Structure 1
Amino acid sequence: MTTIKSDMVRARIEPELKERAEAVLERLGMSTADAIRIFLTQVALRQAFPLELTLPEAARLPETEQ
């Protein structure tokens, strides 16, 4: 039998955010560890951040004229 090696990942998360996210993940049938594993797998496969990051409209800087 082979033993799977694993590393521990620790992050500080606001308790309310963690609870809200865990509630969604539970409904999807996965744990927080599953979600993190999927995220990191996608980063490694794509060699990029797997989500498009944009600011909400209200937080965007005004466009400058050139």
Structure 2
Amino acid sequence: MAKTEVYQIRLDSEEKKQAFAVFKQLGLTPAQAIRMFFRQVVLTQSIPFNIENKATFTPIPERENVPEENHQDLFLELDQILNSKQQ
């Protein structure tokens, strides 16, 4: 069996609730859905969906040397992209 690890993330409460409801409708646990996402990232070597507004998003490989404590900036940038799409 492959070695497994635990990874924590912060989620918007309402988005988490809505996403978990979708997973339940699909017969998936949240953990299964996340593992499916990661599997697709590995298989396709990309995000398995289109990210619109690419002009403001800098791919992570260009930021490989950013200390881990600064990765919060990456998530803030992604949140801004996703939130601008909803407006």
Sort the TM-score into its range (normalised by shorter chain).
0.7 to 0.9
TM-score (norm 1): 0.72
How far is 1:10 from its partner? 0.9
Q: Which runs of 4+ in 1 moved over 2 A?
A: none
1:20 corresponds to which letter in structure 2?
Q
* Percent of residue pairs bearing the same amino acid type: 35
CA–CA distance in structure 2, aligned partners of residues 42 and 33 of structure 1? 14
Select the structure that is richer in helix: 2
The one of the two structures with greater contact order (alpha-carbon pairs below 8 A, sep at least 6) is 2
Superposed, 1:1-66 pairs within 5 Å as 3-55=1-53
Aligned pair count?
A: 55
Of structures 1 and 2, the larger Rg is shown by: 1
Which structure 1 residue ranges, 5 or more long, are not aligned?
61-66
Q: Per-residue displacement from partner, 1:4-46 (whole Å, max 9, x unpaired)?
A: 4211121000111111100111010001111110000000011
- Measured in 1, the distance between the counterparts of 2:11 and 2:27 equals 21
What residue ranges of structure 2 are gaps of 5+ in the alignment?
A: 54-83
The whole-number CA distance in structure 2 between the counterparts of 1:20 and 1:49 is: 21
